[in-house]
Amino acid sequence: MLEINVVRDNGCCVDGARIVLYDTFKDLELNRNPIRTDYTNHKGQILIGNLKHKDYFFFIQKGDLINYNGVIKTWVPLLPGKRAVLLVKITKSRAKGNAGSIGVSYKDCF
């Protein structure tokens, strides 16, 4: 299970950010074969289940804010019985600086 929490530069959650999940980096680059497309809730979160235990690539966008300047992949493969929790910062596409994931953790999920 994968939980993605999306925030802006100032740490505020991003409601309605579009998240597209891909199986491979090539699919992400070519914007083809998405596994799932969904939107964050009012807390800036999305929970994605029924995934294989592997790495995934993702693109996040809300208006002119994107994650492509930073982290575009789960840092470690998803694990059985665990929920991978990602905190991802999105910025303007031309912004300089260190955009991307702020943290990754696992929670028991039974």
Break the chain into its structural domains and give their ranges: 2-108
DSSP helix/strand/coil, 8: coil
Tell me if 58 sits within 8 A of 22, measured CB to CB. yes
Confidence of residue 98 (pLDDT cuts 50, 70, 90): very low
CA distance 16 to 92: 16
Mean pLDDT of the residues in the chain: 83
Bridging pattern class, strands 82-89 and 100-108 = antiparallel
Burial zone of 17 (CB within 10 Å; 0-12 exposed, 13-18 middle, 19+ buried): buried
CATH 2.60.40.1120 applies to domain 2-108: yes
Q: Dump pLDDT digits (tens) for 6-53.
A: 999 888 999 999 999 999 999 999 999 999 999 999 999 999 999 988
What does R_g of the chain's alpha carbons equal in angstroms? 13
Burial pattern 26-45, b for ≥16 Cβ within 10 A else e, equals ebbeeeeebbbeeebeeebb
Which residues, including other chains, have CB under 8 Å from residue 50's CB and lie 6 or more apart?
Answer: none
